Amino acid sequence: MKFLGEHRKEEIIQKFARYISSAKANLFKSVEFDLVIGKREGIWIEDIESGRRFINCHSNGGVFNLGHRNPRIISTLKEALDELDIGNHHLISEMRAKLAEFFIKVVPKGIDKVLFLSGGGEAVDVAIKIARAYTKKKKIISAYGGYHGHTGLALSTGDYKYREYFLPLAPGFIQVPFGDIDYLSKTIDNDTAAVIFETVPATYGIAIPPKDFFKEVKRLCEKYGAILIIDEIQTGLGRTGKLWGIEHFGVVPDVMVVGKGLSGGIYPMAATCFQSKYESVFKKEPFLHVSTFGGSELGCAVALEVLKISSSPEFLKHVNDISRIFAEEFEKMRRGFGEVLKEIRQLGLMMGLKFKNELWGPLMSKACFDHGLLCLYANNDRSVLQVLPPLIIQENEVKEVVSRLTKAIETALDKKYQLKVLSSFLKGQTKNYLEYIRSLL
């Protein structure tokens, strides 16, 4: 059976618009971002019709940490298909137990229970459920500009622009500026069930917190009997050069959420892991959270292989070696383009380029696209271009990324190009958009 290339690209786009989302199809058309993914391998993705190749530095926020179609993951899934299926989420399972045992060996010491779910938002929902059920308190504190998913409780921790459509807003959710301990200390109180932060908020523009931030957060949580939930969905599994981003900050969270890369880019899988005292929540009602596809046995086989690869010292050494090369290259780039490139944000291969203003993220996303690089701006701080290559990227490929990024900045500096890209990007969003563009560029 043929899975790719049966239809012409235009036909695919039309079917997508007709049966899935005309809004998305129109948006991509209007900004000339016309990629339909065909072949994919390692760090590369190819357009289905033109065969144009892109280096994937979006990686779906870490889904493709191990590259596209990683051979070890593929052969694990193929082997698993000879014996397993999804299993039954109500019952005890060998594969789930096996994965859990390995998981607990590699998570920060003190965390010793894990539940497997089907996606990141669901895993965050479970973390918040645990916090509220355990503490019997209501308030959940999260960061402005943070992102924890679009499911029920996770949505309520996120940006207002995604919640305002679904009124009434869930009560008890409060946001604070990320990295601001004074603000947090004035907000947290005895009615706080949990504080939830990403270790490095990706959608907020790869904001690296001060070194002692999480220690202070943990201290405040302990003082008020609140649970610290750390979202490692993007920062986990080696992205920052340590297996878990939070290890950089010397803190063990009460609850930690993992997703994206745990799938190996092949089979959806997420996890909520926690200190065993919180298991009491499930003692009276073991089925307090059930998830038909959560912890699918096929997914467990894949996730186990992902964890084995990602937790190995050689793998983490590779991430650190590569991130040093990026750091050197980015510093040169910052010096060369200081007029527009304001700051390099980097923790391992969790990287962001902060530009002059909020138009530069979209502008650079398009310029990168035109130079065969898939890099997207951070939606809650559009001055930042996220650079999240697969962690398996090799040294010569880093040079290629840097060369394409450099060409993209040169292209983006061209005034005609700026007006063309930004007028299509902003059309319909800002009344006097041309004046707005001119005022910011």
Interacting residue ranges for ligand PLP, rule: CB under 6 A: 61, 119-121, 124, 147-149, 198, 202, 231, 233-234, 259
DSSP helix, strand, coil percent of the chain (3-state; round to 5): 45, 15, 40
Query: Minimum distance from CB of 176 to ligand PLP (Å)?
Result: 17
What are the residues whose beta carbons fall under 8 Å from the beta carbon of 386, sequence distance 6 or more?
57, 58, 202, 205, 206, 351, 352, 375, 376, 377, 378
Residue with Cβ nearer ligand PLP (42 or 119)? 119
Report in angstroms how near the CB of residue 120 gets to ligand PLP at its nearest. 2
Q: Between residues 196 and 408, which has the closer beta carbon with respect to ligand PLP?
A: 196
Tell me the closest approach of the beta carbon of residue 196 to ligand PLP, in angstroms: 10
Work out how close the CB of 433 gets to ligand PLP at its nearest, in angstroms, rounded to a whole number. 28
Report the amino acid identity of residue 250: G
256 vs 398, beta carbon nearer ligand PLP: 256
d(CA 305, CA 269): 12
- What's the closest the beta carbon of residue 3 comes to ligand PLP, in angstroms? 23
Q: Judged by CB, which is closer to ligand PLP: 268, or 362?
A: 268
Report the nearest approach of ligand PLP to the CB of residue 119 (Å). Answer: 4
Pick 202 or 408: Cβ nearer ligand PLP: 202
Minimum distance of ligand PLP from residue 399's CB (angstroms): 28
Query: Measured from the CB atom, is 206 or 422 closer to ligand PLP?
Result: 206
| Residue listed under structure tokens 């007028």 | 423
- Letter for the amino acid at 11? E
* Burial zone of 45 (CB within 10 Å; 0-12 exposed, 13-18 middle, 19+ buried): buried
Q: Which is nearer to ligand PLP, 128 or 181 (CB)?
A: 128
The minimum distance between CB 436 and ligand PLP, in angstroms, equals 29
Q: Which is nearer to ligand PLP, 149 or 205 (CB)?
A: 149
Six-digit token pair at 27? 């948006």
255, 232 contact by CB (below 8 A): no
Does the CA dihedral 309-312-316-318 come out positive or negative? negative
Cβ proximity to ligand PLP: between 229 and 398 the closer is 229
Cβ atoms 208, 384 nearer than 8 A = no
Q: Comparing C-alpha atoms, which of 346, 320, 321 is closest to residue 333?
A: 346
Min dist CB 145 to ligand PLP, Å, is: 12
Instruction: Give Dmax over CA atoms of the chain in angstroms.
Output: 65
Strand 173-176 relative to strand 139-143, pairing: parallel
CB 202 within 8 A of CB 347: no
Residues 6+ apart with CB under 8 A from 122: 149, 151, 154, 270, 291, 294
Q: Which residue is nearest to ligand PLP (CB)?
A: 120
